[in-house]
């Protein structure tokens, strides 16, 4: 997400990102695996941070172990 000198992104900003920006913003914070937000991006917009987290968890749970 935003660097230490920047303010954190809002949920509205995350929802408005294109796929690359969404992946870049969330890739390091969820299992340090950018493929998770990349695959989750398509189910936006998220109504809450909890909904975003649940979607990321669902993507991870549905993934092939390889």
Report if residue 53 sits inside a domain.
no
Determine the structural domain holding residue 24 and report its residue range: 1-41
Q: Which residues of 30-51 are buried (b: 16+ CB within 10 A; e: fewer)?
A: beebeebbbbbbeeeebeeeee
- Domain membership flag for residue 32: yes
Mean pLDDT by 10 residues, the chain (66 residues): 71 97 93 94 97 96 88
* Nearest-angstrom CA–CA distance, 48 and 45: 9
Structurally, the chain folds into a number of domains equal to 1
Tokens of 6: 């920047």
């Amino acid at each position: 997400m935003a660097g230490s000198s920047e303010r954190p992104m809002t949920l509205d900003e995350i929802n408005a990102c294109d796929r690359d920006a969404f992946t870049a913003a969330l890739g390091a914070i969820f299992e340090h695996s950018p493929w998770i937000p990349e695959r989750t991006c398509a189910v936006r917009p998220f109504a809450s941070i909890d909904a975003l987290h649940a979607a990321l968890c669902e993507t991870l749970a549905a993934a092939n172990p390889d």
